[in-house]
Amino acid sequence: MLGCWELVASAVLYAMGIVAQSVAARRAEHRPGADLGLIARLATDRLYLLGFTAQVGGFVLAFLARGSLPLYLVQAGSASAIGIATAFGVLVLGWRVRRVEVVVLVLLAVGMVLLGGAAAPSTARDLTPTMVAALVGVLVLTALLGVRTGRPNALVSAAVPAGVAFAVVAVAGRALAGGDLLALPWQPLAWVLVSAAVLGQALLAGALQRGSATSAIATMDATSMVLASVVGMVAMGDRVAPGREWWVVVGLALVVLGVLALGKAPAASPAAAPVEEAV
């Protein structure tokens, strides 16, 4: 039960971070190219730092939730933050709600109910040295891909590598969360996690600057959710309640469809003008 509350709080903090970081990234000076130095320029923006602090809080709570909850549930819960951010904008900031957004929020809610009902508590298997090396290789390739695709308007190509990086964060976090937290600084896998988080944050900042924040977040979340969920069930022992395997399939499909649809909706979103006017 504690893991479920940690997941809920994590999603709320992620939603706060989406709103704050998207506004800060869009108003930052834009430069052509990969521009991984964007993080350094945003470090002086108090709004971005507020959003980053919320993201860190959400990250810590999601990390703790992975100690008892399967990756497919935790990643879907984190992805639902984009829906919470939209609901926050409608209820608090006065954004105009459109029918497509209502439908998407319902899809996200139904998907999360299905995933929550299908989840079975489980302890992750330890990653073998070969799997850790594979994560490092994926991270290096992701960094290279992120640099090569860092051109203006390359929203999708910037957000997908960010999603891969955060999938590495999720997999590494699932393996580490059930262990001794005080020993984390001396574990190589923990440094893989930190490196993946920094890379994902840099790629996400670039994606936020190049286009709609909801499109960037949706693409990133869909990528990380699918990849991490598959790895969790295939290689890490994530369990599903007997007879509810289809709940997971349908639930993941609804959440992926929901975040992608919300990301493409031209309605009020964390990146829309009403947010900038409200800040």
Compute the distance between CA of residue 41 and CA of residue 195 in angstroms, rounded to an integer. 20
Whose tokens are 């910037």? That residue is: 158
What pTM value is reported for the model?
0.74
Res. 82: pLDDT tops 70:
yes
pLDDT band for position 29 (cuts 50, 70, 90): low
pLDDT in tens, 96-145: 667 777 787 788 889 888 888 888 877 777 788 888 899 999 988 888 87
Closest to 52 in 3D by CA, of 81, 88, 9, 14: 14
Rounded Cα–Cα distance for residues 12 and 82 (Å): 9
pLDDT at 278 over 50: no
Tokens for 66, please give them: 């992975």
Query: Tokens 């395997």 belong to which residue?
Result: 245
Average pLDDT in the 58-68 region? 86
pLDDT of residue 34 exceeding 60: no
Q: Report the pLDDT value the prediction gives residue 275, as an integer from 0 to 100.
A: 33
Q: Which residue has the higher pLDDT, 94 or 240?
A: 240
Total number of domains in the chain: 1
pLDDT band at 77 (very low <50, low <70, confident <90, very high): confident
pLDDT tens digit sequence for 138-182: 988 888 876 665 554 444 556 788 889 999 998 998 888 877 777
Instruction: Write out the residue range of the structural domain in which residue 242 sits.
Output: 2-278
> Where is average pLDDT lowest: 55-59, 71-75, 229-233, 259-263?
259-263
User: What is the per-residue pLDDT across 215-252, written as a single tens digit (0 to 9) for each?
Assistant: 777 778 888 888 888 888 888 888 888 888 899 999 88
Helix axes 245-264, 99-118, angle to 10 degrees: 150
Report the pLDDT value the prediction gives residue 37, as an integer from 0 to 100. Answer: 59
Q: Which of 148, 166, 242, 254 is nearest to 204 (CA)?
A: 166
